[in-house]
Amino acid sequence: MRVLGIDPGLRIAGYGCIDLDSSSQRLTVVEAGAIRMRTDESVPFRLLQLFDDISEIIKDTSPELFAVETIFTHRRQVSTATIMGHARGVILLAGQQASLPLMELTPTEIKKSVTGTGRATKEQVQVSVARLLHLKDPPEPTDVSDALAIAVTAAMRSQMNAKIYRFHG
């Protein structure tokens, strides 16, 4: 199974595409990186860039599942959440346009899945992702390790759901 995970952002959006070998349960990185937007440009310009880049990544990696982090908002950061909502919107549109099944995951679910605790730091996520994916070094920047963590969580959850279905089916 091939999963593309996206960590939404309008300055930097991380992406990570992984393969899960169902027989060996081994996870391997297909491609990962960061989309860096020009912060001197308008929000609509950056949204178009993000949409175009995500659409190209989908085309290049051919995922079977598309996974995106939900927005975490704090009362004091409502404007940030609104802008992140715009970014998520164009990311979801790119996935929908490619007819990909979508899995949305909360930051706490992702952290707990890869580190064992929902309160893990960015650094703990990086180290855990490197270990799970057999990488020599933790992925940089943290947007990339977050995207890989999203993909890993989605792959493991999808595999677990498939096993539950097979057991009951």
The per-residue pLDDT for range 90-112, each reduced to its tens digit, is 999 999 999 999 999 999 999 99
Pairing of strands 2-7, 12-20: antiparallel
Mind telling me the catalytic residues? 7, 69, 143
User: What total of structural domains would you count in the chain?
Assistant: 1
Q: Which residues contact 98 (CB under 8 A, 6 or more apart)?
A: 55, 58, 59, 66
Residue 9 has pLDDT above 70, yes or no: yes
CATH number for the domain including 32?
Answer: 3.30.420.10
Q: Look up residue 72 and give its amino acid.
A: F
Domain carrying residue 120: 2-168
Supply the pTM of this predicted model: 0.93
Element (H, E) at 32: strand 27-36
Q: How far, in Å, CA of 58 to CA of 60, rounded?
A: 6
